[in-house]
Amino acid sequence: IELADPLKVLQLLPAIARLLIDLGNPEQAAPLCACALNHPQSQANLRKAAREVLVELGVAIDQPTGQGLAAQELTLPTFQSLVELLG
């Protein structure tokens, strides 16, 4: 498995977000889900998983002004940065 592959990292984002919630760091989980939700190569099942985590966190996915978390454009993290988030 090539962990430097951005698409593999993309697939990990909702799962890492759930781990961050379990570790008591929900504020770090939401941006990962927003990235998964908005990435142009994100597939329907991945977007669904990201939405579920955001709903669990109580984060507004879509706001009428377009300023919600899901409207943000976020940079895809590296595998190494995800490992660092988990400490």
Q: Is the pLDDT of residue 67 over 50?
A: no
Q: Give which of 45, 51, 56 is closest to 21, Cα–Cα.
A: 56
> Each residue of 68-79: pLDDT tens digit?
554 455 688 888
pLDDT in tens, 2-27: 777 888 999 999 999 999 999 999 99
Distance CA 31, CA 3 (A): 20
Helix (H, G, I), strand (E, B) or coil at 6: helix
Helix (H, G, I), strand (E, B) or coil at 74: coil
* Predicted confidence (pLDDT) at residue 61 exceeds the cutoff of 60: yes
% of the chain surpassing 70 pLDDT: 82
Query: Is residue 60 within 8 Å of residue 30, measured between CB atoms?
Result: no
8 Å CB contact between 12 and 82: yes
